[in-house]
Amino acid sequence: MGTQQILLIVLSVIIVGAAIGVGIEMFNAQSYSANKSAIAADAQLYGTMVIQYYKTPTSLGGAGHNFSRGGKSANPAADIGSFMGWGLDDGVYDNGPEVVENENGKFTVSMADDKTVLITSVGNEVRSGKRAQVVTTITLPEGKITAVLSDVPAEDDILSSLAID
């Protein structure tokens, strides 16, 4: 009878351990998915702010439908970031993309050409050695916003994940 009870205890411990492991994995998957959704929502919000900046007259601090004549600096990406409240009017863009961080991830804004703005975001949550990345493209003057969701390797230097093409 004692052997049977020990066997049942061992079996119970194995089942409880497996259930805990499955629960932890489900929690991590949900956390990663929530982070992916959050950075996508943030990027969408930033995209609408880019359109707002583009359509705002220069007399009110916007681009006036032309990135080359609005703004305080020679770099439209820095002007867009400044308009969005990122505080990017310090000229840092001359040396590469400025990265802004919130509780969901890291974001950067760049110009693909004079009518296309890219917002690249990388999430904070890591799952299976990867982070979520959202590249949001804002095409002007139409104001079309498209987002491409992907996974990038989770590296110590997250700035390398913010690949700006």
pLDDT tens digits, residue range 7-18?
Answer: 999 999 999 999
- pTM metric for this prediction: 0.76
- The answer to whether 99 and 78 have CB atoms below 8 angstroms apart is no
Encode pLDDT of 102-121 as tens digits.
999 999 888 888 889 999 99
Mean pLDDT of 53-58: 90
What are the extents of the domains in the chain? 2-161
Residue 126 is classified by DSSP as: E
- List Cβ neighbours of 43 (8 Å cut-off, separation of 6 or more): 107, 119, 121, 134, 136, 147
pLDDT of residue 65: 87
Mean pLDDT of 131-159: 86
- The answer to whether 81 and 71 have CB atoms below 8 angstroms apart is no
In Å, how far from its chain's centre is CA 108? 8
Encode pLDDT of 77-90 as tens digits.
888 888 888 765 45
> Which of these ranges, 61-75, 103-117, 128-142, has the smallest mean pLDDT?
61-75
